[in-house]
Amino acid sequence: MVLNKKIITFLVLTCLVILIPYLASADVYQDNKDNLAPFKTVFGEARDPRLMVASIINIVLGFLGIIFVALILYAGFMWMTAGGNDDKVKKAQTVIRNSTIGLAVVLAAWGITKFIFCALLSATTGDYFWECPL
């Protein structure tokens, strides 16, 4: 019981030590016109957190495209080196079919993600939907 109280006290004090400096500097950002000041990058430029999330999603979807190309190359190599073996040809065709379906899913996910983020950006910033920077 005493150990639990010590752990809870330690956690509360740690949270307070972390949060008090942040709360003390909260009024600095209210007077500042730059509402993205907490999101300054290493180079000093402010980036919208929504744009950061959208760029991370685009990077992940780009890696999935690279995986698709690697799978197609692997299946093509497997097909070319089958040497008339029907089992290897069928396996290569299955890999090509499944990777094409995967690419269609990735492209659909990218389109849906871009649509949602552009709609959210236009709704929150007042910009036109077709001027989305994504």
Contact between residue 121 and residue 127 where contact means Cβ atoms under 8 Å apart: yes
Q: Is 64 exposed, middle or buried (0-12, 13-18, 19+ CB in 10 A)?
A: middle
pLDDT at 113 over 70: yes
| Segment 10-31 mean pLDDT | 58
The pLDDT tens digits of the residues spanning 27-82 come to: 444 444 455 555 555 555 666 777 777 778 878 888 888 899 999 999 999 999 99
pLDDT at 13: 67
Domain coordinates of the chain in residue numbers? Answer: 1-31, 39-131
What's the chain's Rg over C-alpha atoms? Answer: 25
The pLDDT tens digits of the residues spanning 1-12 come to: 666 777 777 767
Residue 49 φ/ψ region, left for φ over 0, alpha for ψ in the -120 to 50 degree band, beta for the rest: alpha
pLDDT at 31: 47
